[in-house]
Structure 1
C-alpha cells in the first residue's frame, strides 16, 4: 500500500467551511439556489460536533495540524510503502503468519491524507480508503447522521493524538491454517473461564483481545455511513483503518489480527443510532481479532468446523508473550449472518478453550433471559466435568449429525431436527430445546432461534 504525501497547499488561509470545501474539491462551484444540496454535509455536521464538544475552533486549532501531518512523510514510513512479510510458520507448527508493522506516526500520516481526500493506493485486491462517501453522506439532522458521527470520532482521534507521545508500533497479522484445528495439541487445556456480561463488549476491562464480527472483506473494503459492530470498532480505534488497504479477502482458513491499537472514543447507539460520546478516559491498547462467519447452512459439520477453526486460529496466542490475555466477544455470526446465539456461543467457547484463552468475556447485549440460560448451560457442563472434546462432540457434532439425518427445514425459517430421546418422530426441536433437553433445563424463547 502506498500513501504519497499531500502536495497541494491552500492558496489562502482556510477559516470557514466554504474555504475547506474549495480545498477538498477544487472544482466545486458554489450554488446560490436554496434547494441545491450543499457539499460534504456530514463533514460539516462533524466539525460542528467537534467544536461543541471540545470548545475549540477547528479551523485554527486542528485543521493546520491535520494539513501538516498530511504533508510530512514520517521518517519511519518506507519509500516502498506498507506491505506484509513473507509468511512464516508459527512455533506451534500449525499455521503461517505474515505481518505488517507501522507506528503511530505512520498511522496518523495515512489518516490525515485520507481526511484531506488524498486517497492512499491500496494493495492489490484490497479495500478502498476513500472518505469521500462518508463526508458526502446526508441525514435530516446531525443527531441522525451516522456519517457525521464516524467523522467526529476521527476528529477526536486527531485532537488526542496531537498531544500523545508517538512511537507505539501497530502490527497487522494475517494467519492461515496449515492443518486442521483438531490437530492442535490442546491435551493440557481445560474449558476456558466464561464471564457472561449484560453490558457491552467494551465494558470488559480485563480483556486485551476484542473480536471483530468481520466480513470476508475487512470492513467490507470501504468506508460508508454505517454503524455495524465492525464499523463502530474501527471508528473508535481509527488506527485500524490502515488494514483495510492492506488485507485482501479472507479465505475460510484465514484470520486478520490488528495488534496494539488504541481505543480513543466512547460511543452510544448502534447502526443508525451510533453517536460519538466522548474521549476514552483510560489509555489502553488492545488487539482486534477479525473473523468472518458462515452466512448459511449453519448446522452442517463443514460450517461448524470452519467457524470453530477460524475462531481458534484468531484466539491462539502469538509466538511472543504478547497476546495471552482474555478475549471479549458477543453474538458473532448472528444478526445478518443468520446464526443462532446459543450455537455461536458454544462454538466460541470451544475455540477459546482449544486456544488456551484464560477467560472468555461474552456480552449478551442486554439479553438477560439468554444470559441466565447460558449460565445454566455452563454450570451443567462444569458439573458433569466435561472436557473440550465432550462439549464439541455432544453439543456441536451430535446436533450437526442429527440435522443431517433429519434433513428438515421448516418453511418459516427455523432449523429443526429430531431428538433421539423423543418417542414421536414428528417432534421437532430447536437448538435451545436440544441443549435444554441435554441438561434438563427450560429453553429460552423463540427470540433466540435462527432466522434466515
Structure 2
C-alpha cells in the first residue's frame, strides 16, 4: 500500500487495521452491526437513545475499547435522544442520518485507502497524506470532506482508541465527554445546542456529501538559522528594527469574525490543544467555531498541542449552522448554506488560523519574553508560508481578529490589539479587521488607531512604545498603590 510510512504514524489512533495490503475493520461483528444500522430501525432495532447507547457499547466491545469511557457517556446519549429531541427530529435521525453514517463507516477503510493513493499526486513534492503532524516540524494534510465525515462518524460512535493520545499531547476526539457532560449537572442548554450543531452536520451529510477538501497545516515560525544551526524566531532587536509600515485597520464594534465578507485569515482564539473544550464543556470563541464548522474537529485527531512558535492553519472547513448567543446563551438557530468560493484545490476560501495565547499571565504579560511570545505566535499564524505552495494566490487576504487571549484568558486587550496589529503588518497583510464584540475597554479604539497612524509609526516604532509602556507597567506593579494606566491613555500622554 502506498504511503505506508504516513499511515504508520496515525494507525495506532485509528480503529482500522492493515490486513494484507488493504485496510479493513478488525471485527466482523462490528461490520454486522454497521450493516444492520444501514437498513434502518426496522432492521437494526436502534430507534431510541437507549438502543443507540447499547449499540455504541456493542461496537466498542467489538474493537476491544474498554478503557477511558464512563457510564455517564452512554447515559448522555440516552438522555439526549430520548428526552432532549422532539419525536419528529428523533424519527428523522434514526431513519435517515444514522443509517447514512453507518453506510459511510462501512466504506471508511476504502475511503482511507483512496485518500493515501490520491495524496501521492495532489501537490508535487509535498506530503499531504493523513499522519500525525507533530511539533517542531511543518507539514500539511489534505482530507476530502467525505473522509472527514467518516472520521467524525467514528467520533460519534466513540470508535477511536485513546490509550496513547494524552501521552502524545493529542486532544480527545471521541464524543463521549461531549454527551457525558449532560449527566450529573444542572441542565445546560448551551451544551445541548452544541450537540444540535453537530447532529445537524450529520443530517446534512446524510442528504449530500460535499465533494471538496479541507487542509490542515502546522506552521512553524523560523526566519533563519542561528549560529548554532537551530532555527531562530524573531527577537526584540528584530522587532525594534522593523521598518514595515503599519497596515490599515477596520474596527467593527458589532459583527462576528466568521461573518466578515472579504477574504481574510479568520483567527481562532485557540487552546494549545486544538479545539480546546469543543468536545467537553467549553462554549466560547474557539468551541463555537468548531460547532458551526464541525470539519475542524477532524484536526484534533492528528495535531498535537502547539508549541510557542507554532500555529495551525485550516483552509476549506465548511460552515453548516447558524447560531445565537455566547457561552451559556449559545443556541443553534438553524441551517447555514456556505457560499464561500472554491480554490484550485477544491477548498472553500475560508482560512482559519489557530493561535493560542498565554493563559492567565497576570503582570508577567508585560515582560519582554512574554511580549515576544505573543507577537511571534501571531506572526507565525499570519505569515504566508511558501514552502508548501498550497495557497495559489494570497494577494488581498488580510486578517480578521478580535480580543485574542483576553476575557477568560486574562490578557490586556489594549496591549493585545497592538501586538496583533504589529504582527499583521509585519506579515505584509494588506489590512486587519478587528472585532471588539462590544468590549467596553476598546470603545475608543478607532481614535487611538487614527492617532498612531497620524504619527507615521512603523512596526519598529510601535514595538518600542509597547516595550517602554510594559517596562513602566512592571515597575508600577511593584508599587501597589500606584494606578495602572492603560496603554491607550499612556499613548495619549506621551509626546
2:31 paired residue number: 7
Residues 328 and 409 of structure 1: CA distance in aligned 2, closer, same or farther (over 3 Å): farther
Would you say the 8 A contact 2:318–2:338 is kept in 1?
no
| CA RMSD of superposed structures (Å) | 3.5
Q: Residue 456 of structure 2: SS of its match in structure 1?
A: coil
Cα distance in 2 for partners of 1:294, 1:45 equals 35
Cα distance in 2 for partners of 1:53, 1:381 equals 57
1:336 paired residue number: 408
In the TM superposition, residue 374 of structure 1 has moved relative to its aligned partner by: 0.7
Cα distance in 1 for partners of 2:488, 2:368 equals 18
In the TM superposition, residue 293 of structure 1 has moved relative to its aligned partner by: 1.3
Cα distance in 2 for partners of 1:85, 1:140 equals 36
Equivalences, count = 409
Farther off after superposition, 329-338 or 345-354:
329-338
2:450 to 352, 364, 379: 379
2:463 paired residue number: 392
In the TM superposition, residue 45 of structure 1 has moved relative to its aligned partner by: 3.4
Would you say the 8 A contact 1:46–1:148 is kept in 2?
no
Residues 301 and 171 of structure 1: CA distance in aligned 2, closer, same or farther (over 3 Å): same
Residues 112 and 120 of structure 1: CA distance in aligned 2, closer, same or farther (over 3 Å): farther
TM alignment of 1:177-256, pairs within 5 A: 177-178=221-222, 179-181=232-234, 183=238, 189-199=244-254, 200-220=256-276, 223-256=279-312
2:426 paired residue number: 354
Cα distance in 2 for partners of 1:159, 1:8 equals 23
Residues 52 and 96 of structure 1: CA distance in aligned 2, closer, same or farther (over 3 Å): same
Residues 166 and 57 of structure 1: CA distance in aligned 2, closer, same or farther (over 3 Å): closer
1:144 to 182, 188, 195: 188
2:478 paired residue number: 408
1:448 paired residue number: none
> Structure 1: which 5+ runs fail to align?
29-35, 88-94, 412-425, 440-452
1:258 paired residue number: 314
Q: Residue 276 of structure 2: SS of its match in structure 1?
A: helix
Cα distance in 2 for partners of 1:403, 1:56 equals 60
TM alignment of 1:77-116, pairs within 5 A: 77-78=115-116, 82-84=130-132, 97-116=138-157
1:64 is aligned to 2:99: yes
Residues 106 and 323 of structure 1: CA distance in aligned 2, closer, same or farther (over 3 Å): farther
Q: Residue 131 of structure 2: SS of its match in structure 1?
A: coil
1:25 is aligned to 2:57: yes
Would you say the 8 A contact 1:209–1:323 is kept in 2?
no
In the TM superposition, residue 340 of structure 1 has moved relative to its aligned partner by: 1.1
Farther off after superposition, 155-164 or 75-84:
75-84
2:380 paired residue number: 313
Residues 393 and 221 of structure 1: CA distance in aligned 2, closer, same or farther (over 3 Å): same
Would you say the 8 A contact 2:268–2:352 is kept in 1?
yes
1:76 paired residue number: 114
Residues 308 and 16 of structure 1: CA distance in aligned 2, closer, same or farther (over 3 Å): same
Would you say the 8 A contact 2:154–2:174 is kept in 1?
no
In the TM superposition, residue 427 of structure 1 has moved relative to its aligned partner by: 6.5
TM-score by length of 1: 0.80
Would you say the 8 A contact 2:181–2:281 is kept in 1?
yes
Would you say the 8 A contact 1:50–1:155 is kept in 2?
no
Task: Specify which structure has the higher proportion of helix.
Answer: 2
In the TM superposition, residue 86 of structure 1 has moved relative to its aligned partner by: 9.2
Q: Residue 182 of structure 2: SS of its match in structure 1?
A: coil
C-alpha offsets along residues 370-412 of structure 1, whole Å, 9 cap, x if unaligned? Answer: 4541100111112122222222222x1111232345452638x
C-alpha offsets along residues 51-109 of structure 1, whole Å, 9 cap, x if unaligned? Answer: 6897962111111101111221215344998215799xxxxxxx962112211111001
Q: Residue 96 of structure 2: SS of its match in structure 1?
A: helix
2:333 to 262, 277, 280: 277
2:486 to 430, 435, 440: 430
Residues 402 and 142 of structure 1: CA distance in aligned 2, closer, same or farther (over 3 Å): closer
Cα distance in 1 for partners of 2:190, 2:291 equals 11
Residues 188 and 340 of structure 1: CA distance in aligned 2, closer, same or farther (over 3 Å): closer
In the TM superposition, residue 249 of structure 1 has moved relative to its aligned partner by: 1.9
Farther off after superposition, 16-25 or 271-280:
16-25
Would you say the 8 A contact 2:171–2:300 is kept in 1?
yes
Once superposed, which parts of structure 1, at least 4 consecutive aligned residues long, lie more than 6 Å away?
46-50, 52-56, 139-143, 184-188
Would you say the 8 A contact 2:219–2:385 is kept in 1?
no
Cα distance in 2 for partners of 1:212, 1:27 equals 34
Q: Residue 210 of structure 1: SS of its match in structure 2?
A: strand
1:119 to 124, 140, 160: 160
Cα distance in 2 for partners of 1:152, 1:205 equals 26
